[in-house]
A = this chain, B = another copy of it.
Amino acid sequence: MTPKIIRTIVELRQAIAEFRKLSEDNRSVGFVPTMGYLHEGHASLLRQSASDNGLTVLSIFVNPLQFGPNEDLDKYPRDEERDIKVAATAGTNIIFIPALSEMYPNQALTHISVSEITERLCGASRPGHFDGVAIVVTKLFNIVQPDRAYFGLKDAQQLAVISQMTQDLNIPVEIVPCPILREEDGLALSSRNVYLDEDQRSQALILSQSLSASTDWIQAGISASELIAKLKAEISKAPLAKIDYVDVLTYPNLSQLNKDRPLNENNNDLLIAVAVYFGKTRLIDNRLLNPVEVGEGLCFAK
C-alpha cells in the first residue's frame, strides 16, 4: 500500500472526511504524530494504529517550538524518502508533512502550558519544551481529529503531559501508550541514536543496563535516594557519559517520593528516568515499575 502524501491542512481534512463518509466498516481514525526519521519504534505505533483503526494518519513535522535555543533543531535528522517507505510497510494510509508556514502561518498568540508534571525531568532540563509539545499536539489533534493517538513510553513524561492535557481540555481523543522498543543489545530506539559514534554507542548501553538492574535493587529494599545514587554511580562508569538527570517519581503524576522509604513499600506506579549526554547527543531512557510487584508493568496502559 502506498500512503497518500498530503502537505496542507485543507487537503488532509478533506481526505479524512471522505474516509469517514465512505468507509463501510471501521470508520475510526488512528494518529501517530512524529518528527520523522522513523525507526522501528515509530513503526510499532503505526502498526498498532493500523490494527485498531480503519485509517492511520502519520504526521511528520519537526516542531521548532519544542526545541530550546541551544538544541539540535537545525541538525535534527531528516529523510523523507526513507520515512515514506517505513510508513508504507507499517500500514500507514496518509502521511501529513506540513511546511512550517502551514503549521504556524501567523504569529501565534496562544500559549498552552501544563504545570507540575512538567517541572521535573526533561521539563526542568528543557525549559519551554513541553509548552511547544502541548501546542503542536493540540493543533495536530484539531487538524486530524483522530479517535486514537499513539505515543511511545520512551517519552514517558511527554505521554503523561499529553494525557493530562487531553483530560483537562476534554479533547475527544483516546491516548494509547505503546512500549519502548529497543535494539537487541538494549539501547532504546531513538532518532538521535544516529548521532552516536562507535564508542558513544557502546557506552550508551549503560542506560538500559542500569535501569534493568534497578528492579533487583528495589526488590532488595532500596530507597529512592539510594536508587538515584546507585544509578548515577553505575552510569558514571561509562567515561563518555555526562548525566543530565536521574530520578524516580510517581507515574503519571511525576510527584516526588519519600526519599528514605524503601521503594518496594510504595503503592504508586513508579517512573525511573534518566537523561545522559554522550558527546553532544542527549539520550533518554526510562523504566515504569509497579514496585509492589517489582516487575516491569506498563502501568499507564491499564
Residues on A close to B: CB < 8 A?
9, 13, 106, 108-117, 134-135, 138-139, 142-143, 145, 164-165, 167-172
Contact = CB atoms under 8 A, between A and B. Distances in A.
Contacts of A169: 110, 112, 135, 138-139, 142
Nearest to A111: B113
Nearest to A139: B170
Q: How many copies does the complex hold?
A: 2
A108 B172 contact: no
Contacts of A114: 109-111
Contacts of A13: 172
B111 A112 contact: yes
A9 B170 contact: yes
A contact face: mostly helix, strand, loop, or mixed: mixed
Contact of A142 (B106, B117, B171): B171
A167 B113 CA distance: 18
A131 to B, nearest CB: 10
Contacts of A109: 114-117, 164, 168
A21 to B, nearest CB: 11
